[in-house]
Structure formats: C-alpha cells, structure tokens
Chain A
C-alpha cells in the first residue's frame, strides 16, 4: 500500500502535493484512495503488483502508484490500459529510463498509440492538432507517464532530472497513429503485432520540429524533394543524432505527404530507408562544428544521423496540409535510445464502479 497523506480538504491536499514536488507544476486531481482504487481496477491488475523499479531513484512501480499518477493527470479509467502499457514500455531495460531522466539533454517519452485502443481507451487524437491542447486522452495519458517519472522514478528538475532546459513535451506527449488515413500498415503491425492488437510505441524524443513541404502533382521530383526536406531536418546539425549518428527519429507525416510518397511507390520501410540514406552531413562539416565529437576520417564521407533505417519511425498523423513533423532524439544511454513497443491489454479491466465524486 502506498503512503497516505492527510489534508484538511481538497484545496489543502493540492497545495500539499505542490509543496512536496509531486506535481508537474500544474494543478492535479487529488489521488484519493477511492479514485486510485477505481483507476487500479481499470488497469486489471492487483494494485500491489510491482511492474519493476523506475530510475533514477529505483522507485517500486506498483500498479497502485501508476494508478495514482493517472488520477493526478486527469485520466479517465478508460485511459488506464494505455498508461499502464506506456509505463511498462519505459520500464523495459532498453529504454534506459534512469539515464534518460538524468541526462542534461531535453528528452521525454513520446507515446504513439496504435490499434483498437485508440478508440476503446480514448478517443486518442491522431489528426488536426493531435500533439497540441484540446484532447483529454492525449493530454492525460502522456501526463500520467510524466507524473510517474516524477513521483515513482524521482525525476526532479535540477536534482535528478538534469535537463538544462527541458521542453514543453515533458508535460505530455502522446498521439495515436492515423491508421485510417495511412496508405501503409499500422506502425504496430510493422513492429510485429497483429492488426487486432493494440500497442504503444514509446521513444525518448526532443520536441517536434515542423517541416514545410508544398507538393505538386505535376512535378515528378516532388517525392524526392519531400524526402530531402525531411532528411535535412532529421540531420539538422544541432541535433544529437547528427553528432552521435544514433538514436531514434520519428517522422510524423500528414495525409498529403504520405500520399505523395505512397503514390511514388514508397512503403513505410522504403520511406525509412530513403530517409536514413539522406539524413547525413559531410564529416568535415560536423567536425568543423564540434571537432571533439566527430572522429577524424575522410572529410567527404557522409556522417549519418542514424545507424539503421529501423531507427526511423514513420508515423501517419496530423491534418491535411503543408506541415509534417520530425522529432529528433537523444541518441545516448547504454542502448542508444531505441523505440520500445508494448501491447495494450484493454480487455483485462475489471468493471469500474461509478464513483460518487467522479474521476
């Protein structure tokens, strides 16, 4: 059982949580025992079950504690299975949560949701403005993960979360793939899940960078121009990826831009391959900027931003128009910042009694 705090009333409880550093700086829903109990039921697991330890303070990540963070974030019980899957993904050793929390770089788990859970546990937005404000599931699921990293993992700015500046996506960063508008198989299917499965794919990223591209159906070079524009942003010379030559890159393609590439015969893997090949800078250019970080060698050889096409996640999302997005990453840690996918078990939840005071 998690520790209990006492407060005179809801307002006092909220102030106490702020004072103890348990919030992200914004008001939270006070995690009363009955609210947390209902959220834990929606997770379909025993509240005392430990999912693992979360760094850097190696906090015991029990289902009950994750449920408390989901309540604080404003989640509905419907969102709980996605929160649970995202937390489990972050706890995977390959995610390097401890190192990610401690780094001076600005990085946060970006949660991408696929499969029927997009509706069953949401709706989780994937179209116009999906990474912005206005979507409760997106906002609260990503925020629940952050609150878990604060309260269970112990990430406190300037003490254990050493990001020099951080970024706004550290409050929350979650969207669904727009599978219906995508010309390709869903991301989770490309990563080995069945179409009827639901999954989160979580990857530590910087904030998203907009990429403008105006297509032209009459211009046969349009697909190449689009790929070059995306690749140039993936390999922007200020990024860790451009220097370290590793990490993950996420490319969020709007429906117009996926259409340009699909019409040219590209499948999802083909897009990733083309981007990997083009996301590079001349070694001499990178050495001139940061000589201590780039080994000496043939100055004209391309210094690639990624080790493999598999490190570039191509995701269909956003509204129809000129803008797609590239999301660079960290590229450090023992496992070099891979994406981690985790099944969402959204058919395991217990019936959640309707609470007398709501969520």
Chain B
C-alpha cells in the first residue's frame, strides 16, 4: 500500500494489490500516510506458496479490476 502511495505521489499511475487478509491493514496504512483513497484491488490470500496455476487464476480474476482502478473507476 505504501508503495502505491509513493508512486501516486510521484505522479505515476499506481494501484496497490492487497490480499484479503491484509485489506484492513491496507486501509490503515493508506489513512496513516494521508492518502486514504489510493487505488487498490483486493485479491485472495495467500500469495506465498500458492503455486503458478493459482496465481495465474488470481491474476486473471483481478485483471479487469486493476485496469478499472488505473482508469479511476474503482477505489
């Protein structure tokens, strides 16, 4: 989340990818660094050890949402 905020502050289009277990923490960080509305997309937890097939499925599932977020159509 902090990376997304730092990129956004530099004017680089960014969307933070946050796994479900860390969604609340992501909200907290976004608020604490002063950019509560930084674009982010939630995906299923866990990432580590999930395997290539699972990660491919997760990536496909959130692909459109990431693009929408970058276009400013999602928060």
Contacts and interface: CB of A to CB of B under 8 A. Distances in A.
Q: Do A and B come from one complex?
A: yes
Nearest to B21: A320
B3 to A, nearest CB: 19
A129 B52 CA distance: 29
Central interface residue in B46, B51, B52, by most chain A CB within 10 Å: B46
Central interface residue in B21, B49, B50, by most chain A CB within 10 Å: B49
B54 interface: yes
A319 B49 contact: no
B46 A218 contact: no
A222 B21 contact: no
Given A319-B21, A320-B21, A218 B51 contact: yes
B51 A216 contact: yes
B2 interface: no
A256 interface: yes
A322 interface: yes
Nearest to B51: A217
Contacts of B48: 214-215, 256, 321-322
A22 to B, nearest CB: 39
Contacts of A215: 48-49
B46 A217 contact: no
Contacts of B53: 217-218
B23 to A, nearest CB: 12
B21 to A, nearest CB: 5
Interface string A204-240: 0000000000111110001000000000000000000
Contacts of B50: 217
A217 B57 CA distance: 14
Contacts of A217: 49-51, 53-54
A215 B55 CA distance: 13
A320 B49 contact: no
Nearest to B49: A215
Contact of A256 (B46, B52, B54): B46
Interface in B32-51: 45-46, 48-51
Given A319-B21, A320-B21, A214 B45 contact: no
B55 to A, nearest CB: 9
Contacts of B21: 128, 319-321
A322 B19 CA distance: 14
A352 interface: no
Contact of A260 (B45, B49, B52): B49
A91 to B, nearest CB: 39
Nearest to A256: B46
A216 B50 CA distance: 6
B46 A214 contact: no
A240 to B, nearest CB: 32
A217 B50 CA distance: 5
Contacts of B51: 216-218
A321 B21 CA distance: 9
Nearest to A128: B21
A214 B45 CA distance: 14
Interface of B: 21, 45-46, 48-54
Interface of A: 128, 214-218, 222, 256, 260, 319-322
A-B pairs with lowest CB-CB distance, top 5: A215-B49, A217-B51, A218-B51, A320-B21, A320-B46
6 contacts: A214-B49, A218-B51, A218-B52, A260-B49, A320-B46, A321-B46
Given A218-B51, A320-B21, A320-B45, 10 more contacts: A214-B48, A215-B49, A217-B49, A217-B51, A217-B54, A218-B53, A222-B49, A319-B21, A320-B46, A321-B21
